[in-house]
Structure 1
Amino acid sequence: MDGKQKTRVLFVRYEPGRSSSHSTNGEISQQRHAAREYHRKAKAKRQSTRPVVNAAIATKAAKAANDGDPGQAGPPARPTHKAILPRSARSQAPVLPLKREPGGSSADPFNCYTVKDLTPHAHQMLDYSLTYQWPIFSFANPGASVEDMKHHIMSRIMFSATSFYVVVFVGATHWAISQYGRDVPQENAMLRLNFKHAALKQLGAEVENAGPNMPMQTLYNMMALAAYGRSGEKLKPPPYEPNQSVLATAHQLLFYSRMPIEWAHLRAMFHLIKERGGLPTIARPGFALVTSLYDIMISCQRLAVPTFPLLQSTESLLGTWPRVESRTGLSTYLGSGFSGLSDEATYGRLCAVIEHLVQITLGYDRYERSSPDAPILYHILHARSAVIHDLLSLPDSVGDEAGPPDSIIYELSRLGSLAYMLVFLYPISPGNGPHEEVAQRIQGLLRHASRSGMWQTHLPFLVWAVVLGGIMAKALDIRSWYVEHLNSLGLKDMFPAWSSVSTMMTGFLWHKSGCDSEGKELWGE
């Protein structure tokens, strides 16, 4: 045999004059009989040879998988025709082809990654990072879709080994924290350890070779390592918390507030950005916005003034919101209690910030009610960060020593506004947040207020402050002090029904859907 397929020719006697394919006595014509015989024999031959071919292919694939040949570890090639099984075999469990591990062998079919010989878990974490972790930052790039973000990250990792190590390390860490109480496999911990070490080594070489002209890609990698670098190899995912507010889950605020910060990378990155002229000089506006939001979050965690000024003022952000057409009782009452409490200039500046905070609260209230004049969620989230920036930028007026009543009012108003945001509008994790420090500061101010006799003149304002301070002290030792303070002042006897307290709180900063459950719990202790 020369290996070429031979053409078979069947000669059939021609009998003209027949108008039908059947003979007059009902027999099948010779042409049709010959055709049926040909196809029957061909079909029988295919059936007899196919099991041998399939077995040979499966044996070859199994041998390649056992030998560890990545080029032959894929599933066997299937014939284009449908396999025909004997009737007895159709009722049995099918023999599945060899299963390929996710991310194995053909995950990089064009050999374009800068890092080779990846484990299947590394491929999985790269896919997770590209699909779930990085695309959330599309909000910071107006007009950019999730696919655009994926393409941008892919373009980085295809040409930079540092970016590749960073993206996989960050994706593996994000995935591990997202397990919420489930065990994280050991291979994930080893992957994070190895890829973090490789990323730091590559980044150090890049910084040393770049000199004063640091490329933006290096800043991206420094930012990612600052956010994820201290996650540790023995990472324990937090317990799952159901029914989280959209204000906590949007932009993954609660998630990122749980992450410990790698300060060495962060300070170095901030220093380089300052040398370039600040955030407005960054070529990619999306990266500048993400850096600004991250700066605000970590400053809030430490009650420190943010490193960078706002890219856009709070007033200009609120100016883009739809014109308010609907008026509610909340809109006429919220924040009215701050009026006339103090004549100090700094208190006037604080009241301007509180007015912006009132507008954000009312905007979210309209959003929650699906009102046609409600702002979009992205504008609410952007504005809340700007107000946090404004509150942190205001000066402290009271230290450990007692000050005049005006100073106590100013500082209680500022810290109470921060506490309100931490409870409702900006719910970052208490584990890394300023909750304990805020509770301690409010505790000291309330003691000063009691010595100054301010409970007789500023009762509603101080009730608002003590409730928010007690909420900040939840799960802390000083929580008992707040409960005893409420009892010693006779406030629970004065206001036995929580509904009356809630109405009083709304005169300052309060939102029933986001705050009432915590306040009612404190009042009932």
Structure 2
Amino acid sequence: MLAIHDDIQEILVKDYNPFNPPLRDLQELDFYGFISFHPVHWNAVQDLIVQNGGFHTIKLFGAPWMLSYISLKYASLLCTKPAFPVVDAEGKSCGSLSPLRILRIPAEPCHKTCSGGFRQLQTLQIKWTIVRTFLDLSEFAQAIRIFVKNLKQNMSDGPAVDRFGDTRNEVQHRMLCLPKPDDPLGFIFNTCDMPGKQIARELDVYRVCWLAARIFTTHVTFPLPCLRPFRENLLPQLQGTISKILDHQANDNGSNESDVLEILLWCTMIGGIAAEDGAPARRLWYAFQLKRLYLSLNIQSWTRMQELMRSFAWVDVGCDNAGYSLWMEAQRVEDYRAPLEEPCVVEIA
């Protein structure tokens, strides 16, 4: 395909991932993640498909799967909606089933056994379809934890491996189809009939979840190999939004709503881990905010921190070591104040 080109001047180099994601080579994502795109060629491919009747008219076996898979990588780096729906090798869709149901894993979703996690977004008038998508991410992270416990046995089951890869693609597709924080408010909220101050606050909470989830998915659940420019773009935006929410809470007569603080704690943990190989001042900022948040929530042990992280989205083998390192760093931080960075917008092809 012309859209996938081998330009020696644009070879992507694998960089350091502060997380340690499992299943990097599932469906050869570690290979396809290196493929660069010529946007003109990619647009031409989409135009040709439309002119010939659309995506679902493609008959060549495996071609719809390949196109949808490659479009996921492209959209993941650019934070855009994928050009094509997710299908398996036979061109079939899994519909709207939840990850554990798709995978036929007879486990109760963790998000149903706790009152916290992403379910807390429901208190903010955020549409259920959006909350459901975040819960799908939580559920898929749980599925990874289950899958890797018997990794050798599970990887020997070809159909199960294919189904797991397709489920990963489906969850990533759903996350990429979430409205952006700058989209019209009606795309995000059940009602916009709220005071302006309340809308601004709740939009910031959605924004911080959206940014942290972008980092988490591309580094852990759909791990791409070339992400340093991506982190350099998103981490200052996440930092600025966390700071804004904390400032609003401090100005609201010391408001200390635990649901928002727990959401911020997960987002700060994800951002802090991702900041490991960046500017030391940024990493220190995240460590200090993490400490402020876990003290406000009276979290006194790493075990309790792990429990709370799993109520959102957390893969032990991929996050524990890096998370514990940040936790210990936060223990040592006394105080930190520094001006927020402006996001460096980096275009990634």
What TM-score do you get using the length of structure 1 for normalisation?
0.49
Structure 1 residue aligned with 2:239: 443
> Letter of the aligned partner of 2:312 in structure 1?
F
Give aligned-pair identity as a percent.
21
Structure 2 residue aligned with 1:256: 32
Structure 1: gaps (5+ residues): 1-220
Query: Residue 452 of structure 1: SS of its match in structure 2?
Result: helix
Structure 2 residue aligned with 1:341: 121
Structure 1 residue aligned with 2:104: 322
Q: Does 1:286 align with 2:67?
A: no
Structure 2 residue aligned with 1:296: 72
Return the match for 1:500 from 286, 296, 304: 304
> Letter of the aligned partner of 1:395 in structure 2?
P
Tell me by how many angstroms 1:507 deviates.
1.8
Correspondence 1:287-436 to 2 at 5 A: 287-311=63-87, 312-316=93-97, 318=99, 319-322=101-104, 324=106, 326=107, 330=110, 333=113, 336-343=116-123, 346-370=126-150, 376-398=160-182, 404-431=200-227, 434-436=230-232
Structure 2 residue aligned with 1:187: none
| Distance (Å, rounded) in 2 between the aligned partners of 1:396 and 1:246 | 28
| Distance (Å, rounded) in 2 between the aligned partners of 1:237 and 1:414 | 27
Correspondence 1:87-98 to 2 at 5 A: none
Are the equivalent residues in 1 in contact too, given 2:122–2:131 (CA < 8 A)? no
> Letter of the aligned partner of 2:145 in structure 1?
D
Are the equivalent residues in 1 in contact too, given 2:168–2:221 (CA < 8 A)? yes
> Letter of the aligned partner of 2:219 in structure 1?
V
1:214-267 CA distance string (max 9 Å, x none): xxxxxxx32xxx33422439x6965899x9755211122123223332223222
Return the match for 2:9 from 228, 232, 242: 232
Tell me by how many angstroms 1:433 deviates.
6.5
Are the equivalent residues in 2 in contact too, given 1:231–1:260 (CA < 8 A)? no
Structure 1 residue aligned with 2:45: 269
When residues 358 and 302 of structure 1 are mapped into structure 2, their CA distance, relative to the original with a 3 A threshold, is: same
When residues 476 and 335 of structure 1 are mapped into structure 2, their CA distance, relative to the original with a 3 A threshold, is: farther
| Distance (Å, rounded) in 2 between the aligned partners of 1:264 and 1:394 | 25
Structure 2 residue aligned with 1:54: none
Q: Does 1:462 align with 2:238?
A: no
1:37-74 CA distance string (max 9 Å, x none): xxxxxxxxxxxxxxxxxxxxxxxxxxxxxxxxxxxxxx
> Letter of the aligned partner of 2:37 in structure 1?
I
Are the equivalent residues in 1 in contact too, given 2:142–2:315 (CA < 8 A)? no
Are the equivalent residues in 2 in contact too, given 1:492–1:523 (CA < 8 A)? no
Are the equivalent residues in 2 in contact too, given 1:302–1:433 (CA < 8 A)? no
Query: Residue 45 of structure 2: SS of its match in structure 1?
Result: helix
Structure 2: gaps (5+ residues): 88-92, 184-195, 330-349
> Letter of the aligned partner of 1:446 in structure 2?
I
When residues 327 and 487 of structure 1 are mapped into structure 2, their CA distance, relative to the original with a 3 A threshold, is: closer
> Letter of the aligned partner of 1:341 in structure 2?
L
Tell me by how many angstroms 1:294 deviates.
0.7
Query: Residue 404 of structure 1: SS of its match in structure 2?
Result: helix
Tell me by how many angstroms 1:491 deviates.
4.1
Are the equivalent residues in 2 in contact too, given 1:300–1:434 (CA < 8 A)? no
When residues 476 and 492 of structure 1 are mapped into structure 2, their CA distance, relative to the original with a 3 A threshold, is: farther
Structure 2 residue aligned with 1:122: none
When residues 464 and 332 of structure 1 are mapped into structure 2, their CA distance, relative to the original with a 3 A threshold, is: same
1:253-284 CA distance string (max 9 Å, x none): 12322333222322221221122232211121
| Distance (Å, rounded) in 1 between the aligned partners of 2:227 and 2:288 | 25
> Letter of the aligned partner of 1:425 in structure 2?
T
Structure 2 residue aligned with 1:170: none
> Letter of the aligned partner of 1:378 in structure 2?
D
When residues 383 and 475 of structure 1 are mapped into structure 2, their CA distance, relative to the original with a 3 A threshold, is: same
Are the equivalent residues in 2 in contact too, given 1:334–1:506 (CA < 8 A)? no
Tell me by how many angstroms 1:514 deviates.
1.8
Tell me by how many angstroms 1:355 deviates.
2.6
When residues 391 and 238 of structure 1 are mapped into structure 2, their CA distance, relative to the original with a 3 A threshold, is: closer
Instruction: Indicate the larger mover: 340-349 or 474-483.
Output: 340-349
When residues 466 and 314 of structure 1 are mapped into structure 2, their CA distance, relative to the original with a 3 A threshold, is: farther
| Distance (Å, rounded) in 2 between the aligned partners of 1:423 and 1:467 | 13
Tell me by how many angstroms 1:293 deviates.
0.8
What TM-score do you get using the length of structure 2 for normalisation?
0.71
Are the equivalent residues in 1 in contact too, given 2:71–2:83 (CA < 8 A)? yes
Instruction: Indicate the larger mover: 295-304 or 409-418.
Output: 409-418
Q: CA-atom RMSD, angstroms? A: 3.6
Query: Residue 35 of structure 2: SS of its match in structure 1?
Result: coil
Structure 2 residue aligned with 1:5: none
1:98-127 CA distance string (max 9 Å, x none): xxxxxxxxxxxxxxxxxxxxxxxxxxxxxx
| Distance (Å, rounded) in 2 between the aligned partners of 1:299 and 1:484 | 33
1:422-464 CA distance string (max 9 Å, x none): 3321111243663333322321220221121077112222111
Higher RCO structure (Cα 8 Å, ≥6 apart)? 2
When residues 259 and 389 of structure 1 are mapped into structure 2, their CA distance, relative to the original with a 3 A threshold, is: same
| Distance (Å, rounded) in 1 between the aligned partners of 2:294 and 2:132 | 33
Instruction: Indicate the larger mover: 461-470 or 406-415.
Output: 406-415
> Letter of the aligned partner of 1:293 in structure 2?
Y
| Distance (Å, rounded) in 1 between the aligned partners of 2:13 and 2:134 | 36
Structure 1 residue aligned with 2:337: none
Tell me by how many angstroms 1:393 deviates.
1.5
Rg (Cα) greater in structure: 1
Tell me by how many angstroms 1:305 deviates.
1.4
